[in-house]
């Protein structure tokens, strides 16, 4: 279901550059540094790989592979708002993580681009492979949905919406719609249902093709109008979990309730406040920011989004998103089952969904740890395990991955005392 969706969406991103796939020895392909890195003691070993000005202009799929992988157990302080520490000193088993990172570098069968670990609020491990660069925004695919969720939460924090509004019909916020043309049951679609992929909107492939032939009708709220005119009737039976385009509804509500545009609101109220300046965010056919995919973030900025979630909506002491909203966003509101766990394996179970955040139990030994994650096709993850105060950020360009299983099997044991 979701894997098929991702593969269709990212077919272009998964092109491999064969000329960069030369076999090299581990010593040739890995640059490591394990020295202390603080503001007083600058990074003295190999520097993290950076995209050149010319490379930064390339599409992601044209980015040349790194000749050497990079890993450090003592990330540099870069004055980017991210506290750093030392793996093995500030937490974690250094030997276990370095062994895992070395195995990724040696085989990189999943085409990882970065692998970062933060613990107790500090970035302790940082590595880059393949197309990964410390200064290059990486396509986020569906992890963008989690950022859309944060944007709605920000609107609530500032009073443009309330938590109670989540139970109101989406159409009640969109004043430019013609309700006389709606299919039956549209009023049943609440904001919360749109946030949990349960709108019940079902549009045939034939109709979607017709939309593409006339994109002008999808400008502004015309996008929602078209959907609600041409969907099958909304029923209790249709309002079950289906990974779909529901984030479009949420972005339309944000656009409708905040001052100015949704694009300016997201930049001013989230990105600027977190010091995220090196990013990309594509525009949807409606003219609004794309809500389900289309953003690009650097790996360290993904750490910032994860930190905002870890800190229950606070950034540097300021409450950007309501704690109550984030608690719902990262809870297991819907049980999606274990038949199609993206990045899963034998130790990953009870997959669930909140407000565009996935969840699952990650088993180590006789104990399971509840993990919540923003996920994107191709292998993008911001994974939080609250009980261990652990965050894992991964970027990749391979849909067929077992990242959650890797975390359960190889990362969690390094942080369990």
Which band of pLDDT confidence, cut at 50, 70 and 90, is reported for residue 31?
A: low
Angle (CA) 298-404-140 rounded to 5° is 25
Question: Rg of the Cα trace of the chain?
Answer: 21
Min mean pLDDT across 88-97, 269-278, 393-402 is at 393-402
Triad 254, 258, 264: Cα angle to 5°: 85
How far is Cα 341 from Cα 345, in angstroms, rounded to an integer?
A: 8
Structure-token match 């996920």, residue found = 375
Partners of 319 in beta bridges: 314
Alpha helices, H only, 267-415: 299-310, 323-329, 403-406, 412-415
Residue ranges of domains in the chain: 2-139+294-415, 161-256
Rounded CA-CA distance 414/121 in Å is 17
Instruction: For residues 65 and 62, give the distance between their C-alpha atoms in angstroms, rounded to a whole number.
Output: 9
Instruction: Give CATH for domain 2-139+294-415.
Output: 3.40.710
* 375 CB-near residues (< 8 Å, 6+ apart): 142, 143, 342, 343, 358, 381
Q: Could you report the per-residue pLDDT of 269-325, keeping only the tens digit for each?
A: 999 999 999 999 999 999 999 999 999 999 999 999 999 999 999 999 999 999 999
Q: Establish how many alpha carbons lie within 13 A of residue 370's alpha carbon, considering only the half-sphere containing its beta carbon.
A: 8
Q: What's the whole-model pTM score?
A: 0.90
385: closest CA among 91, 3, 105? 91
Beta bridge partners of 393: 116, 382
Contact 417, 399 (CB under 8 A): no
What is d(CA 259, CA 257) in angstroms, rounded to the nearest whole number?
Answer: 7
Q: For 164-222, how does the pLDDT look when each residue is reduced to its tens digit (9 = 90+)?
A: 999 999 999 999 999 999 999 999 999 999 999 999 999 999 999 999 999 999 999 99
**CA distances (Å), 36 to each of 42, 74, 84, 304, 392, in order?**
8, 6, 10, 22, 21
Q: What is the mean pLDDT of the chain?
A: 91
- Residue 251 pairs in a beta bridge with none
């Amino acid at each position: 279901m979701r894997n098929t969706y991702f593969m269709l969406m990212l077919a272009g991103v998964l092109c491999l550059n064969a000329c960069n796939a030369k076999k090299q020895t581990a010593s040739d392909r890995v640059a490591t540094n394990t020295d202390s890195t603080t503001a007083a003691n600058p990074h003295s070993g190999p520097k993290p790989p950076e995209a050149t000005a010319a490379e930064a202009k390339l599409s992601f799929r044209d980015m040349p592979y790194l000749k050497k992988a990079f890993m450090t157990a003592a990330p540099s302080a870069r004055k980017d708002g991210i506290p750093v520490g030392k793996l093995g000193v500030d937490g974690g088993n250094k030997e276990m993580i370095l062994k895992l990172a070395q195995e990724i570098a040696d085989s990189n069968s999943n085409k990882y681009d970065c692998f970062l670990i933060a613990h107790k609020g500090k970035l302790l491990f940082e590595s880059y492979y393949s197309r990964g660069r410390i200064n290059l925004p990486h396509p986020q695919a569906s992890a963008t949905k989690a950022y859309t969720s944060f944007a709605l939460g920000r609107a609530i924090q500032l009073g443009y919406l309330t938590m109670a509004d989540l139970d109101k019909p989406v159409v009640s916020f969109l004043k430019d719609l013609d309700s006389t043309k709606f299919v039956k049951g549209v009023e049943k679609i609440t904001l919360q249902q749109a946030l949990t992929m349960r709108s019940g909107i079902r549009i045939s492939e034939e109709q979607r093709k017709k939309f593409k032939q006339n994109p002008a009708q999808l400008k502004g709220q015309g996008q929602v109008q078209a959907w609600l005119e041409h969907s099958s009737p909304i029923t209790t039976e249709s309002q079950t979990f289906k990974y779909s385009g529901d984030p479009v509804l949420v972005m339309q509500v944000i656009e409708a309730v905040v001052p100015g545009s949704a694009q300016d609101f997201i930049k001013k109220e989230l990105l600027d406040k977190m010091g995220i300046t090196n990013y990309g965010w594509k525009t949807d056919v409606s003219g609004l920011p794309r809500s389900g995919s289309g953003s690009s973030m650097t790996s360290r900025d993904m750490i910032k989004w994860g930190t905002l979630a870890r800190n229950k909506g606070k950034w540097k002491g300021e409450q950007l998103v309501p704690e109550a909203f984030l608690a719902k966003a990262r809870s297991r509101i819907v049980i999606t089952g274990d038949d199609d766990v993206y990045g899963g394996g034998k130790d990953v179970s009870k997959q669930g969904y909140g407000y565009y955040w996935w969840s699952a139990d990650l088993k180590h030994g006789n104990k399971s740890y509840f993990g919540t994650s923003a996920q994107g096709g191709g292998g993008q993850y911001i994974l939080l395990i609250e009980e261990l105060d652990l965050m894992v950020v991964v970027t990749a360009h391979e849909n067929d991955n077992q990242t959650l299983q890797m975390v359960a099997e190889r990362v969690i044991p390094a942080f369990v005392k």
